[in-house]
Amino acid sequence: MGEVFSGILTTLGFGHDPQGKHNDGSFYLCWRIEAFMPLDEFKRQVSDFIAHIKTSPPAAGFK
């Protein structure tokens, strides 16, 4: 979706297109977290998610 918004929507091209434009498009999305949940709860859940990722073992065949 990032390439859709920052490439196609901005008309600056996408993927490997030697005939297309070669500019860098950007797309910024800002959310008011408090519209969805209390900010402290969001921060706690993000911290828990990061801890889970950092403590997860690598998949078989990866170091």
pLDDT at 16: 67
The residue whose two tokens read 């709860």 is: 41
The pTM for the full model equals: 0.60
Per-residue pLDDT of the chain (63 residues; tens, 9 = 90+): 888 888 888 888 777 665 656 667 788 889 999 999 999 999 999 999 999 999 999 999 998
Under 8 Å between Cβ of 10 and 26 = yes
Q: Compute the distance between CA of residue 11 and CA of residue 5 in angstroms, rounded to an integer.
A: 9
pLDDT at 59: 93
Non-local (6+) Cβ contacts of 28 within 8 A are: none
